[in-house]
Every structure is written in C-alpha cells, then in structure tokens.
Amino acid sequence: MGVLNVTPDSFSDGGKFLKVEAARLQAQCIVEAGADWLDLGGESTGPGSVEVSLEEELQRVLPVLACIREDHPELTVSIDTWKAEVARRCLSMGAKVINDVTALRRDPAMVEVVAEAGVPVVLMHAKEADGRTTRAVQHYDDVISTVKAFFEERVLWATQHGIQEEQIILDPGLGFFISAEARYSFEIVRRLPELKALGFPLLLGPSRKSFLAGVSPGRALSTEERLIPGVALSAIAAWLGVDILRTHDVQAGRLLLDTVQALRG
C-alpha cells in the first residue's frame, strides 16, 4: 500500500503534494514503483496536526482521486478518513477501501456507509478515540492483550451494525498511535502472530515513524534515515504474516515483499 498524503502537515511528506498535478505525478510514481494499492489521505493525524473541516478535506481529496481513477482505473484506492461523508463521496467515485484510524469510533455515520457499500474497512488501534496522535507516553501491562481486546470489541460492534467479518482488516497502530515509548511498537511486531490468530488480514505501517529514530545508540535518525530500519522491520513483519504493508517507500517495500516471497519458496 503506497501512501499519498495531500496535506500540509503530515509528518513525512506534508506539503509536497497539495497541488493536484504534484499529487497526480506522485500517484504515477507509486504505481510504477509496484504498489498494489494507493492510500489517499486529506487530513493528518500526526502530533500537532490540526483537524480540518469536511469541506477542506473534500477539496483536497476529490480532485486527486478523480485524476487517479482516470489515470489508473484498475488501481485499488483506499481513503484514509474518519469522516462518513468523505468516505461516501470517495466510494461513489470509485474508491474501494476505507481506512479509518478511529476504528469507526469518531463518526457515527461511518459504519452505515461501510456496511451499505460492502467494501473492506481498516480498523486501527489507537490510544486516543479520535485517532489523533500525541506524544503522550502510554504504559501497558501487556500491550498485545490490550490491542487484542480492542479489536475484539470493535469487530463485535462493527458486525452488530451491519459490517461483515469478511470486510474487516486490522491495523495494530504503531508509533504515537500506541505510545511515545518505542518499545511497545517493537513488541507489537515481535508478537504479530498473536494478532494474526484473530483470523483477520493484518495491515502494518512502520514507514518512517518516530519509534524507529532511536535504533542507533547515541543518535536520533532523521525521517529520511529511517528508511532502512523501516524496511528491516517490514520484512520481519511480512515474514510473521502481515498481509498489507503501508509505506511511503514503495519500491523498497515491493522488493522486500518479493524477497520474502522468494524466501518462502
């Protein structure tokens, strides 16, 4: 899954693709690099980000989605949003997946939109119910038990409101979504088989996240320097059974998945 953020404040690529033509060219690069699908987002949830209005998010996303659908009609496009109206409008234009960082907790109308459309939906674990990340240090007695309990509750709620289990993809959330303390993100990756046992496809997005900054003793890695740690972590995650990798570095992601597949034989 290649990431395309049409936002001014995303932590990795904020401001680079605000203009429609720039976003269109980046979408072409993502496709050429080997992405199976593209995740399009119009609102950042990173630390310090500002919530945007419905109108602003639609103005950012819809023109870019129209271009992507025109240029790449067979490409699967997911929409990274918690707003039901954004999801509804994008689905009507050909988007195929909804990626909701609030796991259907923020907008009461989202579950109905997803249920009626019958499309896949990503339910992500986040320590904050609004899906917005903060630099707060959240402590866990057992982080996997917490994430599993969260998923079990959200899956039950979703299926009670018309979503089929076959539609559901789970994302355990990493980085500030889980805690400002990096060890919890690494523990989630180590224990991915326990989440895989829930029986749903797993999505993981370690790409360029801040918890990778401290892997080298004595220095903090810049966003760009986190490429290799992110690829290494993604390869391990793929080996452990993650189904979908969400990444800003699509060519590296494609090659690592091909390598893991070759290793499996």
Residue positions annotated with a catalytic role: 209, 246
The torsion angles phi and psi of 211, rounded to 5 degrees, stand at: -65, -15
Cβ–Cβ under 8 Å, residues 100 and 120 = no
Dist CA 45 CA 221 (whole Å):
21
Give Cβ neighbours of residue 127 (< 8 Å, ≥ 6 apart): 136, 138, 173, 177, 178, 179
Using the Cα atoms of residue 110, residue 114, residue 115 and residue 116 in order, give the sign of their dihedral: positive
